[in-house]
């Protein structure tokens, strides 16, 4: 029997494409293990063996009065976090990394940069700071008595001087790939790496994937494809970069404040095992649903390195409202 090739007409192809929503991830390695545990972080960590995780990555409660946290004094807040960090250091492998993503604590209009306070705690337990990474995002609350906050930080610590770091997995295109050595034994030969350059510690994705040092990754707001009911959701893209750089396939990844499971998704998508601990039952249910959607190819995710949308002058949101046109606005045209 002769099999005839299947030929799609143009209109049929358009219908097929219309059903596919970018991006779809259709496969999770069945050997990859993961756990979504509904529990208090400190209690759950007490049950985990030493040196298990090659990467611990999280965004802890900021103590700003979100629905899932109780606001306390900054001293009491940091004391509670120190107890958890002590356990995290215990379960971190000797070749492992800990990434702690935080913003600011605000009291009576005064800013307390949490990464500065946390640094002393991590140093107390002997961790080594490798980078203070800036995560920039373009949207957020508009301040009226100070500059609007548009960045948070990730403190990347390691437990020892021998740690996993897969630089080749996160290299970015070189700005001048044709640059050559101008002297020495390699004179005339290409001076860069054929796989690209080191992205450094401030990454900007606005121009191209991992082009500079500023991590310009949109936070998860209303129009973000990953948006759930969680008020302070981690972008998968942010976690995925750390997973690729700081773990190997088969490594274990932990998020002790896992929310709706973004860190777990970033891990298992890249064949890493994962544990997520979350005290809110509702968020655990959302995390499990998102993981099921990932397995079935239904999960909507922002592709890693996708350029951030820039509105054109034809978009209404980019045009000056007619009501403002006659106002003597300061600095217009400058």
Cite the DSSP H helix spans in 175-312: 236-246, 262-269, 281-295
Residue 333 backbone zone (phi > 0: left; psi -120 to 50: alpha; other: beta):
left
pLDDT beyond 60 at 307: no
202 domain residue, yes or no: yes
Residue 211 is predicted with a pLDDT of 35
Spatial CA neighbour of 103 closest among 90, 92, 118: 118
pLDDT for residue 164 is more than 90: yes
- Asked whether residue 50 is assigned to any structural domain, the reply reads yes
Point out the least confidently predicted range of 27-41, 98-112, 150-164, 301-315. 301-315
User: Higher pLDDT residue, 139 or 135?
Assistant: 135
Beta bridge pairs of residue 98? 56, 157
Q: Which residue has the tokens 């899932």?
A: 68
Among residues 97, 120, 101, the alpha carbon closest in space to that of 62 is found at: 101
Q: Which of 71-85, 139-153, 309-323 has the highest mean pLDDT?
A: 71-85
- Model confidence at 38, pLDDT cuts 50, 70, 90, reads very high
Number of domain units in the chain: 1
User: Which pairing describes strands 128-136 and 151-158: parallel, antiparallel, or unpaired?
Assistant: antiparallel
Q: Quick one: tokens of 89?
A: 């250091």
12 vs 139: which has the higher pLDDT: 139
CATH of the domain at 63: 3.40.50.150
Task: Judge whether 289 lies within some domain.
Answer: yes
Is 209 a member of any domain?
A: yes
Per-residue pLDDT of 262-289, as tens digits, reads: 999 999 999 999 999 999 999 999 999 9
Which of 73-82, 90-99, 253-262 has the least mean pLDDT? Answer: 73-82
pLDDT higher at 15 or 133: 133
Q: DSSP assignment of 228-243, as one string? A: -S-SSPPPHHHHHHHH
∠ CA 226-231-234, rounded to 5°: 50
What are the tens digits of pLDDT across the range 293-305? 999 888 877 665 5
Residue 6 lies in a domain: no
- Average pLDDT for residues 193-210, to the nearest whole number? 63
Residue 116, in any domain of the structure: yes
**Domain extent for 131:** 23-324
Domain annotation covers residue 15: no
At 18 the pLDDT is 37
How far is residue 322's CA from residue 110's CA, in Å, rounded to a whole number?
37
Segment 225-261, tens digit of pLDDT: 434 443 444 678 889 889 999 999 999 999 999 999 9
Q: Would residue 13 count as lying in a domain? A: no
């Amino acid at each position: 029997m002769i099999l005839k090739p299947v030929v799609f007409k143009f209109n049929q192809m358009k219908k097929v494409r219309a059903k596919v929503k970018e991006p779809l991830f259709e496969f999770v390695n069945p050997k990859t293990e993961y756990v979504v545990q509904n529990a208090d972080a400190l209690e759950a960590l007490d049950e985990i063996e030493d040196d298990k995780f090659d990467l611990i990555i999280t965004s802890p409660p900021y103590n700003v009065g979100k629905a899932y946290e109780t606001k306390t004094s900054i001293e009491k807040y940091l004391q509670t976090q120190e107890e958890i960090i002590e356990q995290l250091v215990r379960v971190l492998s000797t070749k492992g990394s800990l990434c702690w993503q935080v913003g600011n604590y605000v009291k009576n209009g005064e800013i307390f940069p949490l990464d500065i306070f946390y640094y002393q705690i991590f140093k107390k337990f002997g961790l080594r700071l490798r980078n203070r990474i800036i995560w920039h995002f373009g949207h957020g609350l508009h301040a009226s008595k100070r500059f609007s906050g548009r960045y948070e930080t990730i403190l990347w610590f390691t437990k020892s001087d021998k740690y996993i770091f897969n630089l080749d997995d996160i290299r970015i295109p070189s700005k001048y790939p044709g640059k050559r050595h101008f002297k020495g034994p390699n004179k005339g030969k290409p001076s860069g790496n054929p796989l690209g350059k080191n992205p450094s510690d401030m990454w900007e994705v606005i121009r191209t994937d991992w082009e500079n040092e500023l991590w310009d990754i949109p936070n998860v707001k209303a129009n973000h494809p990953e948006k759930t009911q969680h008020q302070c959701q981690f972008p998968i893209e942010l976690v995925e970069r750390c997973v690729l750089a700081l773990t190997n396939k088969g490594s274990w990844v932990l998020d002790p404040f896992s929310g709706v499971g973004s860190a777990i998704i970033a891990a298992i998508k890249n064949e890493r095992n994962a544990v997520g601990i979350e005290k809110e039952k509702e968020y655990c249910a959302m995390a499990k649903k998102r993981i099921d959607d990932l397995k079935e190819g239904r999960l909507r995710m922002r592709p890693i390195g996708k350029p951030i949308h820039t509105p054109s002058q034809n978009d209404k949101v980019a045009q000056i409202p007619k009501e403002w046109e006659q106002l003597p606005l300061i600095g217009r045209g400058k």
